[in-house]
Amino acid sequence: MTELRFHEMPDGRRIAYRFATGGGPTIVFLPGYMSDMAGGKASAVFDWAVSQWRTCLLVDYSGCGESSGDFADGTLSRWRDEVLALIEALCPGPVVLVGSSMGGWLMLLVALALPAERRAGLVGIAAAPDFTTWGRSDADKARLAAGETVYEPNQYGPEPTPTHPGFWADGQEHLLLGDDIGLDCPVRLLHGQADPDVPWEVSMRLAAVVRSADVQVTLIKDGDHRLSRDQDIALLLRTVAALVGEAG
């Protein structure tokens, strides 16, 4: 089943996914903002899972990659519900959620929506919870609150990166860093200290407010935001492998 497939949501949205069957908890990779399952980290995790006969799920959120929909309609709530629908349809047992950047925020929201016995572990890669707050100037917040889309330069592509008011408003309803996050599963956070987009201190804040006692933060001194160099991918795969192994 490793080929591209689609899951249809009740309103007709077609959510693209790839699924590899195997043993252990299901590894679910959650891409970052405007990213998709064709990215280097997602592909590396999936290929590793296939080679190790581990169950793995890759997802394209609606409006991203091969999924239907308009990116402008995307919100954390909408994408969380898509991920949960796929987990419900394909993954009856425990899951290890791996979230990159915005996917790290989504990882937490998905985990909080799952029963405790299904949370085998979390791996955040430059996790960016609450970035609608700390990642925005007061001027941008005012424009977004007034219903205006805000664009900023995109160092990873030719087109500017949009933040739509619907996404921003929904994000403000899902802020997590200001209070205890009621998750008790193992949590592993990887973050580059040369990350220009998400300060590494965000991972430290997250580690402090997650209730679990089994939280480890790994800082990569020369690591950038993407953490997609060979050595970064190797670290990610070691981290996932250890969590999956601990969970059986």
Does residue 140 lie within any of the structural domains?
no
User: Which tens digit of pLDDT belongs to each residue from 121-174?
Assistant: 999 999 999 999 999 999 999 999 999 999 998 877 778 999 999 999 999 999
> Residue 175 pLDDT more than 70?
yes
- Region of 130 (left: φ > 0; alpha: ψ -120 to 50; beta: rest) is left
Side chain identity at residue 65, one-letter code: G
51 belongs to the catalytic site: no
pLDDT recorded at residue 186: 98
Percent pLDDT > 70 in the chain is: 99
Structure tokens at 163: 């933040």
Catalytic one of 130, 170, 195, 232: 195
In the predicted model, what is the mean pLDDT of the chain? Answer: 96
Q: Running DSSP on this structure, what letter comes out for residue 210?
A: B
Does residue 112 lie within any of the structural domains?
yes
Does residue 156 lie within any of the structural domains?
no
Residue 210's domain comprises: 5-131+184-247
Residue whose pair of structure tokens reads 């969590």 in the numeric block: 243
pLDDT recorded at residue 248: 64
Cβ neighbour number for residue 246 with a 10 Å cutoff: 14
For residue 37, give the nearest of 21, 16, 14 by alpha carbon: 16
Does residue 47 lie within any of the structural domains?
yes
Does residue 138 lie within any of the structural domains?
no
225 belongs to the catalytic site: yes
**Average pLDDT, integer, range 177-192:** 98
35 belongs to the catalytic site: no
Query: Bridge partners of 218?
Result: 190
Q: Tell me the CATH number at 205.
A: 3.40.50.1820
The number of domains in the chain is 1
Does residue 170 lie within any of the structural domains?
no
pTM of the model: 0.97
Does residue 216 lie within any of the structural domains?
yes
Catalytic one of 101, 164, 191, 232: 101
pLDDT recorded at residue 155: 78
> Residue 1 pLDDT more than 70?
no
Selected residue with higher pLDDT from 245 and 168: 168
Does residue 152 lie within any of the structural domains?
no
> Residue 50 pLDDT more than 70?
yes
Q: How confident is the model at residue 62 (pLDDT cuts 50, 70, 90)?
A: very high
